[in-house]
Amino acid sequence: MGENLTGPTALLVLGCPEVPVQQALALHIAHQFRKRGFFVHTAGNPAVLNLLKISDPEKRYLPEMQVLETCIEEIVEKKRNAKLCIVLAHSDAGITYAATMRHLLPETRLVVIIFGRDPEPLSALADFPCEKIVEKAVHNPMQLKKKINKVFGWAA
């Protein structure tokens, strides 16, 4: 896939890579949006970015990755924007990242994917305007993948 620098931007925000399904889902989401003409920008902590760099060494799915704090600075400075923001959250920090994105990108479609061993309490913390996809998922991403595909209208 060639770089798509002119299409709409999907911002993918990732937290700590403690829960294994996150990396697989990030690659799946990025692949699906790239197929549909989006430029995918990924922001996260250094650990998750390093895992993704190893998983996608040719940057076919994740062409641009950046430390989350730098991404937030660029949004505040109006150097970065997105048509769509997807936050993967398995902890309260992930919900905080989602709330930050809602505040900084008020007109952007925000989808928060909430997962982990006990996602329901986290879902209750996301009390700001957003779409939520909630599923118990730690090692097996398949049920959550089905829900994601349904929300975005992708074939199974």
User: pLDDT tens digits for 20-41?
Assistant: 999 999 999 999 999 999 999 9
Residues facing residue 137 across a β-bridge: 116
The residue-averaged pLDDT of 82-107 equals 98
Q: How many domains does the chain have?
A: 1
> Nearest to residue 62, comparing CAs of 94, 98, 23, 96?
23
Interatomic CA distance for residues 131 and 61, integer angstroms:
23
- Residue 133 in any domain: the answer is yes
- Residue 4 in any domain: the answer is no
- Residue 1 in any domain: the answer is no
- Structure confidence at residue 155 (pLDDT): 76
The whole-model pTM stands at 0.94
Helix (H, G, I), strand (E, B) or coil at 56: coil
- Residue 3 in any domain: the answer is no
- Residue 109 in any domain: the answer is yes
- Residue 64 in any domain: the answer is yes
